[in-house]
Amino acid sequence: MKTLECLTRRFLEVIFSLLALVPLPPISQLGWLFLSLAIRCCWIVYIIYLLDVAVSFSWVAIESVGNAVGTMLFVGNSVLGFALLLESVLKQKTHSQLEDLRVQTELQLQRLGMFGRSRHAAYLLPLIGVQFTCDLVRLVTNFGEPVSPVFNISLPLMWLLRYRYVQLVQHVMDLNQRSIQLRRSLLCLASGNDLWQPYGVHEFLQLQALRTTYERIFECYETFSDCYGWGMLGLHLLTSFQFVTNAYWMIMGLYDGGNVRALIFNGATGIDFGTPIATLFWHGDSGAENGRQIGCLISKLVKPQGSKRYNDLVSEFSLQTLHQRFVVTAKDFFSLNLHLLSSMFAAVVTYLVILIQFMFAERSSKRSSG
C-alpha cells in the first residue's frame, strides 16, 4: 500500500509539472527552472492557437444558439487554462507558505503521537480512471464524422483543467487527513478525561499543543484557499456552464430525433467533468464536518474541579473552533460543500430552461421567416 501511495504521488508530480500546474522551481535549480519555463511557453503557444481557432469559428457561432454556446465554452476553457498557468506563477509565495504550514502541522502531530497513513491512491486512481475511460469513449464516438469539431485539438486543455481538479482533491484530502488525526488525538484525551479530578500538568500541555495544532491546520485551509481560490472560482463557473451546454445538446439531440453518438459523447463529457467536481465538494464537506466534530469534543474536556487556568484554555479552544472553521473557499465567494453542489445543479436546471426557451424561439422565428 505504501508503494502504491508513493507511485501515485510521484506520477501526479510528473503530470502536474508537465501541465505547468506547479510553481516554478527556485533559481538555484537553474536546469529545472528553464525546463519549467519552456513547458509554460509551449502551453501559452498552444492556448493562443486555440483562441485563433475560436476566432475562425466566430462566423459559425451566429448561426444558432447551440453554436454560440459551444464557441463561448471553447473560449472560456482556453482563457481559464491561461489563468491557471498564470495562477501557478503569481501564487508561488503563497504556495511556499502552504508547504511550510503543512510540514509544521505534520511535525506537531507526530509529536502528539499521531502518525496517519495516507490513502490518496484509493480515491485519486479511480477518479483518474473514470476520466481516462470517458476520454476513450469520446475519442471513439468522435471518430469519423466528428460530433465536436474541436474535441481533438482541445483534449490537452481538458486534461489541464481536469488535473487541476485532481490536484485540488489531493490537497484537500491531505488537509482533511491532518484534521482527522487531530480529532482522534482529542478523542483520546476526552475519553480518558475524569470530570471530577483536577487536571494534570501533562493534560494542560497536551491541550495547549492540540490548540496550537488546530490553529496551524486552520492556517493551512486559509492559505490553500488563498493559493487556489481564483482557479477554483473559474473552474466552478466553467464546469456549471459545461453541464448546461452538454445537457442542452443532449436535449436538442433527442428533440431532433436522437443522434446516439452525440448523446454518448455529451453524456461522457458530463461524467468527465461531473466526477471531479463532485469528489472535490465531497471532500471539502468532509473537512468542514471534521471541524464541527472537533468543536463538539472540546466540551468533553471541561473539569469542574480543575483550575481556572485549565478551564479558560478549554473555553478559548472552544471559541477558536467556532471562529476558525476548516472550510475551503473560492476567494470567499462560496465554500466547497455538498449544499453548494446541490445549489449548482439547481442553477444548471434554471439556465438549461432558459437555453431551451431560446432554442424554441429561434426555431419558431426560422419557421415564420421561411
pTM: 0.84
Angle (CA) 281-286-289 rounded to 5° is 130
HEC readout, 293-339: HHHHHHHHHCCCCCCHHHHHHHHHHHHHHHHCCCCCECCCCCECCHH
CA dihedral 267, 273, 279, 281 (to 10 degrees): -120
Query: Hey, what amino acid is at 15?
Result: I
- For the chain, 370 residues long, give each residue's pLDDT as a single digit of tens: 678 878 888 888 899 989 988 888 888 888 888 998 999 999 999 999 998 888 877 766 566 666 777 788 888 888 998 999 988 888 888 888 888 888 888 887 777 666 556 677 778 888 888 888 988 988 888 877 777 778 888 889 999 998 999 999 989 988 888 888 888 887 877 776 555 455 556 777 877 888 888 888 888 888 988 888 888 888 888 887 787 777 777 777 676 666 777 788 888 888 888 888 888 888 888 888 888 888 787 777 776 666 677 777 778 878 888 788 888 887 777 777 777 777 767 766 776 666 666 666 655 665 565 5
- Closest by alpha carbon to 359, among 212, 255, 205? 255
What SS3 class is residue 196? Answer: coil
- DSSP H helices, the chain, are 2-18, 30-56, 58-61, 65-90, 92-111, 121-141, 151-191, 201-255, 260-298, 308-323, 338-369
The per-residue pLDDT for 39 is 92
Query: Hey, what amino acid is at 151?
Result: F
* C-alpha cell, 328: 475551503
The per-residue pLDDT for 197 is 56
CA 306 to chain centre: 44
Q: Is the dihedral of CA 61, 65, 71, 76 positive or negative?
A: positive
What SS3 class is residue 259? Answer: coil
Cα–Cα distance for residue pair 348/327, rounded to 1 Å: 24
* C-alpha cell, 166: 485532481
Cα–Cα distance for residue pair 50/46, rounded to 1 Å: 6
Q: Considering just the CA atoms, what is the radius of gyration of the chain in Å?
A: 25
The per-residue pLDDT for 45 is 93
The per-residue pLDDT for 146 is 75
Distance from the first to the final alpha carbon of the chain: 67
- Closest by alpha carbon to 20, among 222, 125, 157, 170? 157
Collect all residues with Cβ–Cβ distance below 8 Å to 14 and sequence separation of at least 6. none
Q: Are 57 and 71 in contact (CB under 8 A)?
A: yes
Cα–Cα distance for residue pair 97/1, rounded to 1 Å: 30
Query: Hey, what amino acid is at 104?
Result: Q
Q: Is the dihedral of CA 268, 274, 275, 276 positive or negative?
A: positive
DSSP per-residue codes, 266-287: HHHHHHHHHHHHHHHHHHHHHH
Cα–Cα distance for residue pair 22/18, rounded to 1 Å: 9
